[in-house]
Amino acid sequence: MAGIYIHIPFCRQKCTYCDFTSFPDRLGYAEAYMACVYKEMELRKEELKDVEFDTVYFGGGTPSVIDPKYILGAMNQIRKCFRLKKGAEVTIEMNPGTVDEKKIEIYRKAGINRYSVGLQTAIDSQLADLNRIHTARHFAHTATLLKGENFNADVMIGLKEQTFEDIRKTIDFAVLGGASHISLYALTAEDGTPIYTDYLNGLLPDEDTVADFYERSRAYLEEKGFARYEISNFCKPGRESRHNLNYWRRGEYVGFGVSACSFMRERRLTNTLDLDEYMKCVLSGFLPVVDAEDIDEKTARFEYVMLHLRTREGLSLSDFSARYGDFFERYRNAYEKTKAFLSVEGDTLRVKDEYLYVQNSVVVEYMEA
């Protein structure tokens, strides 16, 4: 199984915490940019002709901010250039305040069957503080448009002046709106973003408070019938994101667009982050790749452990052994140091539920082994 990612780098305005490749002032480039994305697919179709793709994901930026005809165009081009499996999962990220009935209709026609909506919080003052373009009312409208669809809502924790009651309200709002999947993310204040000043000024909740919010949110979501299947991801039965599961299983994927990454045959490629350079490169018939890395066995092994231990399904010891040799022999010291945090049930190694949120500090021990 392999996935296709398409990066749409346009947004109406920049959120205060955003360090993604997104351009709030370049919406006028959408037509030219998408023509380049179609062309980039053409450039890679020969190399990928034997790969069967099972998922497609439009991420950003805000994919829903551009004319939906480009999403339809991208899907037509994908079907023309690549082998897309019947029943493939096709997701689009969208922001409340950027969609209407007509757009959803065109998305359906394009084959979109999963939506990911950036709610973040149901508290309008917090949305305004993050410089989001929407209010809670916009989310309610989007949820109405998506009635009966398979959709995710993003929920953020660790916002300025946020209480657990605010998070509970946000979860209720998403669940009442019909979300069958919730991504629960802790805000990270990256250096260089406006919110970093709030962080330096001590205005954001501290780590212990965020960890406490996470734990209470997890319990609350589980009460509501949402099972955790990855550190930040919860869903109703059968509603896991297949596209993201592929990442955590260290599956292969190909990315198109500015800043997109691909991982195929143990090789990782990264496209340029510069929009003009991306377009110039593709128009001249070259791949816009600025970094190509062949993954050595030690790194591959570590990635395998790190990614699988993020998930509820855990790591299959027999699958690991078929690829890299016996797990306990390979990682004798690391396992001794971390076994209190891990559980082994039959063939499966997992981080114990209560330690999943601090999984990073467990897997770091496997880095040097």
Least distance in Å: CB of 126 to ligand SF4?
Answer: 14
Query: From the CB of 249, what's the least distance to ligand SF4, in Å?
Result: 26
Closest CB to ligand SF4 among 11 and 260?
A: 11
Q: CB of 62: closest distance to ligand SF4 in angstroms?
A: 5
Cβ at position 351, least distance to ligand SF4 in Å: 28
Q: Are 99 and 146 in contact (CB under 8 A)?
A: no
Nearer to ligand SF4 by C-beta: 85 or 137? 137
181, 239 Cβ separation under 8 angstroms:
yes
Q: How far is the CB of 201 from ligand SF4 (least distance, A)?
A: 21
Size of the site for ligand SF4 (CB under 6 A): 10
d(CA 338, CA 225): 31
Number of Cβ within a 10 Å radius of residue 369: 14
Pick out residues in 77-116 that bind ligand SF4 (CB under 6 A).
95
Q: Which is nearer to ligand SF4, 118 or 314 (CB)?
A: 118
The residues in 37-76 that bind ligand SF4, with binding defined as CB under 6 A, are 60-62
- Choose the stretch contacting ligand SF4; rule: CB under 6 A; options: 9-17, 146-154, 165-173, 330-338: 9-17
Q: How many other CB atoms sit within 10 Å of the CB of residue 142? A: 26
* Residue whose CB is less far from ligand SF4, 132 or 218: 132
Which residues from 11-40 bind ligand SF4, rule CB under 6 A? 11, 14-15, 18, 20, 22
Phi/psi for 265 (5° steps) reads 50, 50
257 lies in the site for ligand SF4, by CB under 6 A: no
**E strand or H helix that includes residue 154:** strand 151-157
- DSSP alpha helix (H) spans, the chain: 30-44, 69-81, 101-110, 124-129, 136-145, 164-177, 195-200, 207-223, 242-248, 275-283, 297-308, 317-324, 327-330, 332-338, 359-363
Nearest to 198 by CA among 124, 129, 108: 129
Of 269, 227, 247, 243, the C-alpha closest to 93 is 243
List helix spans (H) across 111-180: 124-129, 136-145, 164-177
> Residue 9 or 205: which CB sits closer to ligand SF4?
9
Quick one: 14 or 312, whose CB is closer to ligand SF4? 14
Residue 260 beta carbon to ligand SF4: minimum distance, rounded to whole angstroms: 14
**Residue 15 CB, nearest distance to ligand SF4 (Å)?**
3
The Cα angle at residue 200 between residues 198 and 201, in degrees rounded to 5: 60
Residues of this chain that bind ligand SF4 (CB under 6 A): 11, 14-15, 18, 20, 22, 60-62, 95
